[in-house]
Structure 1
Amino acid sequence: MEFGIRKMVQSKMQSYVPVCDLEQDSRPDGALVADGKTWGDFVSDVSKVRYYLEARENTPWILHCEDSYFFTVSLLAMLQSGRKALVTANRQDAFIKEIKKPEYGFLTDEPFTGDIAGMPATMIQDVLVSENVHCTDGDISREIKFGKFDKTKAEMVMYTSGTTGEPKAVFKLFMQFENELFELVKVFGNDWVDRKVFSTVNHHHIYGLLFTALLPIATGLPFCRYRIDFPTELANIAGAAAVVASSPAFLKRLAAEADKPIDFKCPPIIYSSGGPLPVEVAQKASELVGYWPMEIYGSTETGGIAYRQSKNGAVWKPFEVCKMSVAENGCLNIKSSYILEAEGFTTGDLVDLYDDGRFLLKGRSDSIVKIEEKRISLPEVENRLKQTGLVQDVRVVPMVGKRQYLAAAIVLNEVGREKFAGLPKLAINNYFHDYLLQFIENTVSPKKWRYLEELPQNTEGKIRMRDIQALFNLPESQNFKILKFRREPGALTAKLLFPATSDYYDGHFPEFKLLPAVAQVDMVLRLARNFLDVPKKLSKIHRTKFASPILPDVPVMLKVSYNADAAKVTFSFTSMPDAQGNEKMHSSGSFTMNPEESLG
């Protein structure tokens, strides 16, 4: 069976070779692997990192490289040398500290200021310069070390936020990835012929790992070394025949920001994973790029389960090797060749399962809550709000104050923004509240509302309930608006706006309003305490630089990080990135907090 599929795919693609079977002569030396890197370069670089790793004790290595080429080189070197690869979700100090042990190595491509568990990070660039191997144009003592490895013994660990939001280690044998790659090539492989792979997602998560690192290496397709961060950057690849691994978050921004179709040489193939993609966003993306996005449903634990294009309906079609059933709790259970457990894996997703194996997702099993003894489905409230035709995205979460209540975070679509332009927030709240009363009781209707440009997502592209709840735990203020934010372990990035009517500007200065330094410090502390669990008491303000003014009604980015060991908060206010991602510094600095207070 496998031989037949490989021959079939090879007839149209460059060649499909399982990653574990790659050898030095699997590709021509001059074949392009990534921007500026050939197969000969790749083989040589993997060999150099292998020599470096094998000269050290056989311990697990943490891997985090922003450059996709360096990441793939490092991962192959770890697998070929028998080292366990721990692929991090991010490289925040707090996260690395949670997973690092003294004996672990840490390989990265970016300077790392922390000295985690007694061992600093190793820069892959330094390894590639210091290690020498035999090359075609030189006679150097060490020979190339590149070849097959045993996929049934090669070990990896992926990290996911799981249902709690805390880092969860998911053990994988590389055999599971190879089995999934084989399925992906069977279903999508012929569509990828003569294309280049681009990405808007993180290759440290399973979807990005498969689509932007392993699939290109296995199929011989070149890939871009760096992520596309902004929808405006898609115009830069319009001349390429492209495959783009994307996410609902990126496609939502594309739908909201693009005002005309992008003139692609040929329509790119767009994939989306990490969460549900609203049909209206998929349709708008199709109008802009010429391809209706293909959605992939799965998780770190299960790999890819099913796929769909929502223009054909909401039903999901499973990959051939995925066998579906409904567990006792009504949730989807999957058994496949890339799930190790004989009993399969039961998700938290409620489903309707059809006789042909296709299924319809009905929401999360933890999405039914009780408000004053009345049961209510959170997805039901969300769907009712979407029925207004004014909402692009929404999350409804349970909150506890003096009593339990619901709160709704809403992203308006273009029609909604036009309808409510210039209206006070109370009028918008009342509109949605009154609409919901047609379908649900007042008791279970949301009592608090926030309107954002984008719902907060983690590095996996998932919207976590606890992040929405954290937003509502911060008292609303007329002095500032949070337009969007993203929270990671020990770090927060937020887009803020300070209205001209803000009290912060009173008297400072009447003729030319500037956001005072004390207001900036207050804003940093307010958000750090709410989102990062920073102690309440400020111990010391270190040197703080104020480079350029923050003006009324001009959005800015605030980046805050917290080092719990040093009780230190570091921040920067910058302008919004321009089309090239450049930012102007407004201010930066750091504080020391008093951690003893949090112990009292």
Structure 2
Amino acid sequence: MTGFIANLHDPKNAATALCVEGGRVFCAGDILADIDRLCPILRQSSRIAIHCQSARLFLIAITAAWRAGATVIFPATDRPAYLDGISSQFDLYLDDAAIRERLASATATNIDSHMTLPAATDCRAVFFTSGSTGDAKPIPKTLALIEAEITIQEPLWQPHIPKGARIVGLVSHQHIYGLIFRIVWPVMTKRVFTADPAPYWEMMQGDINNGDVLITSPAHLKNLHPDLADVPRPSLIFSSGGPLDLAAARETTAMLGTCPTEIYGSTETGGIAHRQQTGDNCPWHPLPGVEVALNDAGCLRVRAAHIAGDDWYQTEDIAKINDATGTFTLHGRADRVVKVEGKRISLGAVERHLRQSHLVEDAIALIPDDDDRRLGVVAVLSPAGRDMLAEIGRFRMGRQLRREIAKFEDDAALPQRWRFVDQLPSDSQGKRPLHLLRALFAEMEPLTPEIVIQNRDDDRVNLSLHLPTDLLYFRGHFPGMPILPGVVQLHWAVDQAAALFDVPVTIGEVTQLKYRKPITPGSTVMLELDCDRDKAKIKFRYHSDAEGDHSSGILKWREAAS
């Protein structure tokens, strides 16, 4: 298998299709022409941060930067506050617009006609991940390490991939999993990859061919679109970024005809092991050449050429190894980094961002429920925060604090469940055990929405309802994609009608009941009630500015017997 840089520059590959973007097929020669134009412009920079939506522009930029002798910096996000925090790590920042601008300004004299291709060991990269302190932690890599991992993985997957199959990516190429599977692997194996950003099924389900390889995450596979049942069958479905639950694995297998292949690893290690969940407690199989062992605390340590050479790398993953088979199972983490929607989130970083706010004195971030992986926060508010809470309520207070965190973090790190307390709970030793923190969420699950606006014109009322993300009715309906049950919407309409119009609580008939669009956690919806006392009926309608009508119907009450 030829190396990444060599394959791109081999004249024999000039007419070989490499990627598809906007319906156009780009050959290796097309990509190389842009690399040639961009490379000379980058020679003045030694550390270049690159964050792109287009996988094609991303490929052009990282290759041109490596050819120019620069280290490529891979920011985890393009949020301004995050980039400010790592600004000392780079001297040039390129996004899609900046790359297009430089390519457009390149002239014939800029073209790099006499170049020496860099060795893979000299193509340096720096990724960022959250360490135990929550700070953005730089992780240095070389292209040689990435190519070594691909070399050991390709023989595992090649027999399952038909000729002409494409690599279709839903995950970002900014992280090591996406970079390896969406960019470097297809270039090294001369497989076509899709370059358009498509983070949601709706954006790419019409562009799947028989035999394609899907690069996904647990978040994607837990939220399968119903129309996927009608798409062509992929040959392989990869998932990484966090463990996939068995129910999602089974649903994916049933809907797409292929059992997902999970890759276990991290930014620091790259790939460690793989598995397909066909039943309970399916173990992980180490990749070829990967050795596994446990330290005294029962945490997994690994050794392989593409990880740390001859040295062992110590993880914080608690594991059990089957000595007879060499496989292992995972049993949680020993540090304070959790996986939410397939992304590694530092609880310490979330807490630090909150404590920087003038509204918060102290805060603890956690996963309140193992069966519900939404991030939660227990917070002690400052006097200013308590005044704001009294004024705007718990729902909007949580939204306000989410905005504080959003200056630094991606959406996965924004808490969805909030508890505001006068003092953080602690035990007799002054520690804050998880069970005490989780008890706050178990005891205080809200049962009703927050009614924040009420406009009334005689027998017509409009209510604005905020639906807390931790509303009890969202639990289990449905796992991975919660929506408000229709029976709850009907119940609320009846209760509000009875209270506002002084009509009998007992409804005799419900007609013209329609459910059009789901109501999701965190939504703000309007409930419109129109009472016709002469006909003993009430029309109700749930709607929102973003989605239009959600549901509607007519409630008819029974007249009291004379």
How far, CA to CA, are the matches of 1:124 and 1:306 in structure 2?
A: 36
Q: 1:102 to 1:314 in 2, by over 3 A?
A: closer
Give the deviation of 1:99 after TM superposition. Answer: 1.4
Give the deviation of 1:221 after TM superposition. Answer: 1.1
Q: Does 1:125 align with 2:33?
A: no
Q: 1:70 to 1:239 in 2, by over 3 A?
A: same
Q: 1:213 to 1:358 in 2, by over 3 A?
A: same
Q: 1:20 to 1:40 in 2, by over 3 A?
A: closer
Q: Does 1:319 align with 2:319?
A: no
Matching residue of 1:218: 188
Q: Does 1:107 align with 2:94?
A: yes
* Uncovered stretches (5+) of structure 2, i.e. residues with no partner: 340-344, 352-360, 418-445, 468-516, 525-543, 550-562
Whether the 8 Å contact between 2:275 and 2:283 is mirrored in structure 1 is: yes
Matching residue of 2:176: 206
* Uncovered stretches (5+) of structure 1, i.e. residues with no partner: 1-15, 111-122, 134-139, 369-377, 380-394, 412-450, 457-466, 521-550, 559-572, 579-600
Q: Which of the pair has more CA radius of gyration?
A: 2
Whether the 8 Å contact between 2:265 and 2:272 is mirrored in structure 1 is: yes
Report the AA paired with residue 257 of structure 2.
Answer: G
- 1:306 pairs with one of 273, 277, 284: 273
How far, CA to CA, are the matches of 2:265 and 2:230 in structure 1?
A: 32
Q: 1:124 to 1:407 in 2, by over 3 A?
A: closer
Q: 1:322 to 1:402 in 2, by over 3 A?
A: closer
Q: Does 1:244 align with 2:231?
A: no
Matching residue of 2:42: 53
Give the deviation of 1:144 after TM superposition. Answer: 4.1
Q: Does 1:293 align with 2:228?
A: no
Q: 1:24 to 1:165 in 2, by over 3 A?
A: same
Give the deviation of 1:199 after TM superposition. Answer: 1.2
Report the AA paired with residue 364 of structure 1.
Answer: R
How far, CA to CA, are the matches of 1:62 and 1:290 in structure 2?
A: 39
- 2:157 pairs with one of 179, 188, 194: 188
Whether the 8 Å contact between 2:301 and 2:315 is mirrored in structure 1 is: yes
Matching residue of 2:84: 97
Q: Secondary structure at the match of 2:376?
A: helix
How far, CA to CA, are the matches of 1:21 and 1:47 in structure 2?
A: 14
TM-score, normalised to structure 1, is 0.60
- 1:507 pairs with one of 455, 467, 475: 455
How far, CA to CA, are the matches of 1:277 and 1:78 in structure 2?
A: 35
Q: Secondary structure at the match of 1:315?
A: coil
Whether the 8 Å contact between 1:557 and 1:575 is mirrored in structure 2 is: no
Give the deviation of 1:244 after TM superposition. Answer: 0.8
Give the deviation of 1:100 after TM superposition. Answer: 1.4
Matching residue of 1:408: 368
Q: 1:321 to 1:501 in 2, by over 3 A?
A: closer
How far, CA to CA, are the matches of 1:207 and 1:489 in structure 2?
A: 25
How far, CA to CA, are the matches of 2:39 and 2:363 in structure 1?
A: 59
Give the deviation of 1:265 after TM superposition. Answer: 3.0
How far, CA to CA, are the matches of 1:31 and 1:180 in structure 2?
A: 24
Whether the 8 Å contact between 1:513 and 1:552 is mirrored in structure 2 is: no
How far, CA to CA, are the matches of 2:367 and 2:299 in structure 1?
A: 26
Q: Deviations over 1:321-359 (max 9, x none)?
A: 211111222111111111236432100011112224211
Q: Deviations over 1:424-458 (max 9, x none)?
A: xxxxxxxxxxxxxxxxxxxxxxxxxxx7xxx45xx
- 1:490 pairs with one of 408, 411, 421: 408
How far, CA to CA, are the matches of 1:278 and 1:305 in structure 2?
A: 19
Q: 1:367 to 1:102 in 2, by over 3 A?
A: closer
Q: Secondary structure at the match of 1:575?
A: coil
Matching residue of 2:121: 152
Q: 1:187 to 1:145 in 2, by over 3 A?
A: farther
How far, CA to CA, are the matches of 1:338 and 1:224 in structure 2?
A: 26
Give the deviation of 1:228 after TM superposition. Answer: 2.5
How far, CA to CA, are the matches of 1:234 and 1:468 in structure 2?
A: 32
How far, CA to CA, are the matches of 2:78 and 2:128 in structure 1?
A: 12
- 2:13 pairs with one of 2, 13, 28: 28
How large is the RMSD of aligned CA atoms in angstroms? 4.3
Q: Deviations over 1:242-282 (max 9, x none)?
A: 1111000111111xx52x65223333411000101001110
Give the deviation of 1:17 after TM superposition. Answer: 1.8
Report the AA paired with residue 215 of structure 2.
Answer: A
Matching residue of 2:354: none
Report the AA paired with residue 408 of structure 2.
Answer: G
Report the AA paired with residue 307 of structure 2.
Answer: I
Q: Does 1:274 align with 2:182?
A: no
Report the AA paired with residue 320 of structure 1.
Answer: P
Q: Secondary structure at the match of 1:343?
A: coil
Whether the 8 Å contact between 1:306 and 1:316 is mirrored in structure 2 is: yes
Q: Does 1:42 align with 2:9?
A: no
How far, CA to CA, are the matches of 1:220 and 1:202 in structure 2?
A: 20
Whether the 8 Å contact between 2:37 and 2:112 is mirrored in structure 1 is: no
How far, CA to CA, are the matches of 1:141 and 1:17 in structure 2?
A: 28
Give the deviation of 1:237 after TM superposition. Answer: 2.1
How far, CA to CA, are the matches of 1:96 and 1:147 in structure 2?
A: 32
Q: 1:576 to 1:301 in 2, by over 3 A?
A: farther
Work out the percentage of aligned pairs sharing the same amino acid: 23
Give the number of equivalent residue pairs.
415
Matching residue of 2:377: 469
How far, CA to CA, are the matches of 1:72 and 1:362 in structure 2?
A: 37
Q: Deviations over 1:63-118 (max 9, x none)?
A: 111111111111111112211001110111111111113971111114xxxxxxxx
Q: 1:91 to 1:161 in 2, by over 3 A?
A: same
How far, CA to CA, are the matches of 1:132 and 1:233 in structure 2?
A: 36
Whether the 8 Å contact between 1:317 and 1:358 is mirrored in structure 2 is: yes
Matching residue of 1:172: 141
How far, CA to CA, are the matches of 2:395 and 2:254 in structure 1?
A: 39
